[in-house]
Amino acid sequence: MKKVIGITGSIGSGKSYAVEKFKEICKKNNISAIFIDVDDIRRNILDKEKINKEELNKKIYTNKLEMQKYKEYINPKIREFLTSQINLNDGFIFIEWALLIEDKFYDLIDSIIMINCTREIQIQRLKKSNLNKEDIITRMKLQLTNKEKIVEIKKIEKESFILEVSCNPQIEEYENLLKKVGLYE
């Protein structure tokens, strides 16, 4: 059985941490699953085409028109890669994508897992990254908030789950979610 699961949430919400937990659970239970990080796909495309990511980021995060041009350029390439991976693989396919809702690529997935936390926790996590405060605020403004994402997800006719991670859930909560998704009994 093939099932494509999109994992989304705003910047700093804990998507990558959740994905690591999902990988641990799959390994522990001998569940065949592949995990795709759209940020990695994007980086690989830019590297192959020798595009300076630092200069690009300065342009796209300060100018909405440049961001739109960038998305028009990169999103078809991302869609092509994801479609090929979905067609090549059976079983469970997890796609980690902060902008899954904003970029309207939910037609590629069967289920959505929304990783949710408070804005304060997002900011605390992002302060530990290599982004400065101005960059954090700029990037947060370019994405829907977690609350806005939840509203949009409810409009989409897809199976969806919200994992609240503000209080550092235990592994059992991740396991229970994957049971609901149908990964295992």
Inside any domain, residue 129: yes
- In angstroms, the CA 145 to CA 98 distance is 11
Please compute the mean of the pLDDT values over residues 7-25 and round it to a whole number.
94
In 3-state terms the chain splits into helix, strand, coil percentages (rounded to 5) of 55, 15, 30
Strand partners, 4: 93
Number of structural domains in the chain: 1
Contact 113, 6 (CB under 8 A): yes
How high is the pLDDT of residue 81? 97
Kindly report the average pLDDT of the chain as a whole number.
Answer: 92
Inside any domain, residue 62: no
Inside any domain, residue 95: yes
Inside any domain, residue 77: no
- In angstroms, the CA 92 to CA 95 distance is 10
CATH of the domain at 23: 3.40.50.300
Inside any domain, residue 46: no
- In angstroms, the CA 100 to CA 82 distance is 12
1-10, 44-53, 129-138: least confident range: 129-138
Inside any domain, residue 48: no
| Ordered strands of the 159-164 beta sheet | 33-37, 92-96, 3-8, 111-116, 159-164
CA angle centred on 131, ends 125 and 133, rounded to 5°: 80
Inside any domain, residue 20: yes
For residue 30, give the DSSP letter. T
Full domain range(s) for residue 138 = 3-38+91-176
Query: C-alpha distances in angstroms, 105 versus 77, 92, 109, 153, 174?
Result: 12, 18, 8, 12, 24
How high is the pLDDT of residue 119? 86
Q: What is the pLDDT of residues 69-111, one digit of tens each?
A: 999 999 999 999 999 999 999 999 999 999 999 999 999 999 9
Inside any domain, residue 13: yes
